[in-house]
Amino acid sequence: MKEYLYTKSHEWVQFLDEKTARIGISDYAQGELGDLVFINLPEVGDELVAGEEFADVESVKAVSNIYSPVTGTVRAINEELLDHPELVNADAAEAWFVEVGDIVGQVDLLTEDQYKAEL
Amino acid sequence: MRGGPDPCWHFHGDLCRIGAIPEVTGMDMSMKLIFEKSIAGRGCDLLPECDVPVAAVGNKFIRNSEIHLPEVSETELSRHYTELMKRTFGVNDGFYPLGSCTMKYNPKVNDEVAGLPGFAEIHPLQPVGTVQGCLEVMKLAEEYLCEITGMEAMDFQPAAGAHGEFTGLKLIAAYHKERKDTKRTKIIVPDSAHGTNPASAAMSGFSVVNVASTKEGYVDPEELRKVVGEDTAGFMLTNPNTVGMFDENILELTKIIHDAGGLNYYDGANLNAIMGLVRPGDMGFDVVHLNLHKTFSTPHGGGGPGSGPVGCKERLVRYLPTPRIILKDGRYEFAEKPLESIGRVKAFYGNFRVVVRALAYILTLGGEGLRNASENAVLNANYMMQKLQGIFDMPFSGHCMHEFVISLEQLKQEKGVSALDFAKTLLDYGMHPPTMYFPLIVHEALMVEPTETETKENLELAVEVYKAVLEQARKEPEMLHQSPAKTVIGRPDEVMAARNPVLRYQF
Amino acid sequence: MGTYVPNTREEQQEMLREIGVHDLQELFHAIPREVCLDGPLKLPSGLPELSVYRKMSGLAGRNKVFQSIFRGAGAYRHYIPSIVKQITSKEEFVTAYTPYQAEISQGILQSIFEYQTMICELTGMDVSNASVYDGATAAAEAVIMCKERKRTKALVSETVHPETIQTIQTYCSGTDMEVILVPAKEGHTDMEALQQLLDEETASVLLQQPNYYGILEDAEPAGILTHEKDAKFIMACNPISLGLLKAPSEYGADIAVGEGQPLGIPLSYGGPYLGFMASTEKLMRRLPGRIVGETKDTRGERAFVLTLQAREQHIRREKASSNICSNQALCAMTAAVYLDAMGARGLRQAAESSMSKAHYLAGELCKLPGFALVYPGEFFHEFVTTCRGNVDKVLRALEDRGILGGYPLSGKDAGHLLWCATEMNTKEEMDTLVSILEEVTRA
């Protein structure tokens, strides 16, 4: 299984190869956010910039921005999340938000151990 | 048994009873939708037969789809809404201390005069000679509200506070645009502001710059200096601010903005604290909006209609929405549209009959009465705050203005009881809770605005109830998670509502 | 001085003592002296209730209440059943705040849920919000909600109510939305022009049905053209007409909006009225304002709550697509009670009667020399005619007889009259109108 790396803003990124990765949010983040009721995802073809917001998640009374760990182009979005945001609460590591290709940059990423130490 | 006064003391008896009936009888007595009461063939007989030949409609315009509307007798219809009425809590039902909402008593004479045929049955496009009374209402209300706020002109087209904010910001945009000062694209908003402020700024085409509050809840002049610049279009502020404190540095703050070439916008949400005492126009504000449905006693109607007139200083008058009313040779008329006007923000002239109510209120109170209302709003808030002092954690020290904030952060940490739990428990005492989770800069906030129309004994009763709930929270915190128990429904599942939206009845 | 402050001077003194201050002024110490008012407000002294009533009645008396109205142009006089006025003046409904505390607001919440359902039924759309300010702002909000990153043009037919167009222009000015008017041709939207204007940057097309001139637009091809370019089709509709005429959904509309005033709301010199907004399910999350949803409570009972709140300004702040907070809830309830009382049959009857009377009136008017329909095509309950002689003089003559005649159009339509008839106008009244006109326009 490919390694999960993390950002300080609680996103995870999983590189499928050098230029391609999936992005989601950490289990800690989903716990803090509580029951998610909707997820706004970008469109396929959108350019993401490392460190900048690309999606947001809604709980009943809050909206939180999700920041991209990498710079690249959205290849696919997890459409299942649009109808079933609860999947993020159920298994945050499985519930990827987007798949990004043509990656040309990234923010500082933490290993799982480093991330856990930060919490 | 829970402590405190009898929880049912001023709820409609039915509110407490309804839940119990099915258990007794086994019958389904739950509240039905009007559609579920519909029986084909029933209805009300309202209109006479058409006394001219029926006009034919071309096939391509004829409706093919069925419309499901209820078929109910007038008796059923009347009772349906009486049931709904009993499941509704208004200012008339009891203490309603919603912070920043100014839920004061809504005088009945205002409603009565607004219902006079001479106001209610007037077509908006009647010739001006036949609507002199309507135009005079708006001119008088304009004159009085200008005096109260220290502005030069007031326009009633905006239908609500947020609509007024949008309109006021458009005036600011028009001002800079006419001066060809096109780099001014930013509106500065304190982080403690109402959500409508940043939303209105964005909607008006500005970007929003947040300025942090000090821990006392004020805008820090030093922080403000850091964010102003050549791109500053304006600054939005409410004073007293959203934590219920008057910003002593107000003149310094508005000067910082003016010196930078920006304009100052006054959010009138909290005007109820200062009528007759101090005016936005004298504090350095260039444009204001008022909420007639807060400060000027017009009712909220379960969410609206309100009225959000916008006032401004002389240099912004020509940008106001059109049409403007003028008095010419003893007769009210509409002025020619100035080229610089931002245009219309709504059809016709605004929520006119709300303005009628507000005018009746101002006439009743007069200048002295308005000041007296503000003084008593502040007195009531301070009295209640004083009585709760030392028992509840108050994040801001000193006398408050018309409202104050309690933080239940400590209770949350120690007992797991949140502001929401606390508020929901108040419902079991037949009391409307304060505003929860606002301002955002205070954790587990409850914001209490008693208003001037509450009696001393009501405030004392509320204090006793708050204390009783606090005591209960310490003794049996788990009970508060389950509250309310005595209302017609328990807490609704908001996650389910948002995840699987059911927004209409399916036939 | 009238007052609604209950506490006596003695009680106020007691309260001050308890707070630990000497007088009220001490509570206001935070207000810098240099900004304090140095004298009383220059307002008249307060008045007791009877005096206020007299003063306000005097003002109301300076307006003319027309018994006979043949004017619409965005505000329509229909019959308001007695029960509508009674129900909507119940104090609980009138004095309640926005139903944030669902447990003690089920009445308001359920009434909005019922309203939303009825608006969906009328328009044929999937979801409705709990109202916006009026028809004009509803149209403007609809235009704004269709904006997409690469689609920033809003096409608006010139046959839409001019005040709606002006409102849309104000809402879009200063943003990156561009409003482009689709020209009119003989009182209809020019479909060829529409086709030419539509492109990949078009976010939405707005048509009014019936349009400002009362004409029924050929909306179906307009919807098809709009969707060919993947833009959103917005229809502004008269709600009474929907009792008889095609629903926006039947024309393929993505969003239906309109002025809800005809549904039981008095003319009120222009407000408060009611903006209704409904859309397809796909656009649900872009709808502005409050929306009520059904759910269950902790006891498993049906319950109603404000939902999808994360779209709104109090949560999304500067990222919210609309700033709306207060809406027109009591007016929405008024519309709901009106529709309950009328039922589908009553609504159809009101629509049919209005349309028939307008056609009768048009027929009779056009028998007069100098009066003729200006535009071809089918119309609902409004129509435009020429006028013989000076328009102002003709209207003043009607006014003297207690009749509010057709609305004198301006601009390129100057000299024409926009007439309206509803179920409120009897045949006798219309015949009288025509005979007066015959008299005053006789050469």
pLDDT digits (tens, 9 = 90+) for C264-283: 999 999 999 999 999 999 99
pLDDT at B26: 59
The answer to whether C87 faces chain B, any CB pair under 8 Å, is yes
pLDDT digits (tens, 9 = 90+) for B77-90: 999 999 999 999 99
Please tell me which residue of chain A has the smallest CA distance to B493. A60
Q: Which residue has the tokens 């002006």?
A: C166
pLDDT at B25: 54
B447 contacts B435 by C-beta, under 8 angstroms: yes
Is the confidence at residue B9, as pLDDT, over 70?
no
CATH match of A4-105 with 2.40.50.100 = yes
The torsion region of residue B73 among left (phi > 0), alpha (psi -120 to 50) and beta comes to beta
The answer to whether C224 faces chain B, any CB pair under 8 Å, is no
Name the pLDDT band for B21 (thresholds 50, 70, 90).
very low
| Cα separation values, C76 from B385, C265, C421, Å | 50, 9, 9
Judged by CB atoms closer than 8 Å, whether chains meet at C133 and B346 is answered as yes
Is the confidence at residue C220, as pLDDT, over 90?
yes
pLDDT at B4: 37
pLDDT digits (tens, 9 = 90+) for B206-232: 999 999 888 878 999 999 999 999 999
Q: Is the dihedral of CA C351, C356, C362, C365 positive or negative?
A: negative
pLDDT at C311: 83
Please tell me which residue of chain A has the smallest CA distance to B437. A61
Which two tokens mark C323? 């700033």
Name the pLDDT band for B338 (thresholds 50, 70, 90).
confident
Identity of the residue in C4, C21, C62 whose CB atom sits nearest the CB atom of B107: C4
Please tell me which residue of chain B has the smallest CA distance to C348. B67
Spans of all domains in chain A: 4-105
Residue C442: Cβ within 10 Å count: 10
| Chain B contact partners (≥3 CB pairs within 8 A) | A, C
Interval A34-48 mean pLDDT: 94
Judged by CB atoms closer than 8 Å, whether chains meet at B350 and C395 is answered as no
pLDDT at C200: 97
Interval C59-63 mean pLDDT: 98
Is the confidence at residue A70, as pLDDT, over 60?
yes
Closest CA–CA distance from residue B484 to any residue of chain A (Å) = 20
pLDDT at B19: 39
pLDDT at B268: 96
| Chain C contact partners (≥3 CB pairs within 8 A) | A, B
Is the confidence at residue A105, as pLDDT, over 50?
yes
B120 contacts C63 by C-beta, under 8 angstroms: no
pLDDT digits (tens, 9 = 90+) for C409-426: 999 999 999 999 999 999
What length is written for chain B?
507
The answer to whether A102 faces chain B, any CB pair under 8 Å, is no
pLDDT digits (tens, 9 = 90+) for B424-481: 999 999 999 999 988 888 999 999 999 999 999 999 999 999 999 999 999 999 999 9
Is the confidence at residue B103, as pLDDT, over 80?
yes
* 3-class secondary structure, B191: coil
pTM for the whole structure: 0.95
pLDDT at B229: 96
The answer to whether B488 faces chain C, any CB pair under 8 Å, is yes
Judged by CB atoms closer than 8 Å, whether chains meet at C315 and A61 is answered as yes
Distance CA A110, CA A118 (A): 9
Domains of chain C: 68-72+345-441 (3.90.1150.10), 82-337 (3.40.640.10)
Please tell me which residue of chain B has the smallest CA distance to A85. B499
Spans of all domains in chain B: 32-47+65-86, 109-364
Q: What is the dihedral of CA B29, B35, B40, B43, to 10 degrees?
A: 100
Q: H-helix or E-strand containing C44?
A: none
Angle between helices B352-388 and C9-19 in degrees, nearest 10: 50
* 3-class secondary structure, B188: strand
pLDDT at B6: 38
Judged by CB atoms closer than 8 Å, whether chains meet at C315 and A37 is answered as no
Three-class secondary structure assignment of B212-267:
CECCCCCECHHHHHHHCCCCEEEEEECCCCCCCCCCCCHHHHHHHHHHCCCEEEEE
Interval A92-106 mean pLDDT: 95
In B380-434 the beta strands, taken as DSSP E runs, fall at 404-407
The answer to whether C313 faces chain B, any CB pair under 8 Å, is yes
Environment class of A2 (CB within 10 Å of its CB; exposed 0-12, middle 13-18, buried 19+): exposed
pLDDT digits (tens, 9 = 90+) for B181-205: 999 999 999 988 888 999 999 999 9
pLDDT at B426: 97
pLDDT at B29: 67
pLDDT at C314: 82
Strand B435-436: give its sheet, edge to edge. B404-407, B445-448, B435-436
Q: Which residue has the tokens 């590189």?
A: A15
The answer to whether B77 faces chain C, any CB pair under 8 Å, is yes
- Give the mean pLDDT of chain C: 96
Query: C-contacting residues of B 170-229, CB under 8 Å?
Result: 170, 173, 194-196, 198-205, 207-208
| Cα separation values, B460 from B380, B381, B386, B471, Å | 10, 12, 11, 17
Is the confidence at residue B143, as pLDDT, over 60?
yes
> DSSP characters for C295-312?
EEBTTS-EEEEE--GGGS
pLDDT at B28: 67
Interval B119-145 mean pLDDT: 98
Is the confidence at residue B12, as pLDDT, over 80?
no
Interface pTM, i.e. ipTM: 0.97
* Partners of A20 in beta bridges: A17
Judged by CB atoms closer than 8 Å, whether chains meet at B495 and A58 is answered as no
pLDDT digits (tens, 9 = 90+) for B259-299: 999 999 999 999 999 999 999 999 999 999 999 999 999 99
Q: Radius of gyration over alpha carbons of chain B, in Å?
A: 26
Please work out, in degrees rounded to the nearest 5, the angle formed at the alpha carbon of residue C292 by the alpha carbons of C167 and B238.
55
Q: Which fold has domain B109-364?
A: Aspartate Aminotransferase; domain 2 (3.40.640)
- Give the mean pLDDT of chain B: 93
The fraction of chain C above a pLDDT of 70, given in percent, is 100
Choice between B314 and C309, residue whose per-residue pLDDT is larger: B314
Name the pLDDT band for B22 (thresholds 50, 70, 90).
very low
pLDDT at B290: 98
Interval B482-494 mean pLDDT: 96
Judged by CB atoms closer than 8 Å, whether chains meet at C309 and A60 is answered as yes
Distance CA B101, CA B115 (A): 25
pLDDT at C370: 95
Distance CA C189, CA C210 (A): 11
B340 contacts B326 by C-beta, under 8 angstroms: no
C255 contacts C145 by C-beta, under 8 angstroms: yes
Instruction: Report cis status (omega within 30 of 0) of the bond before C40.
Output: no
pLDDT at C413: 93
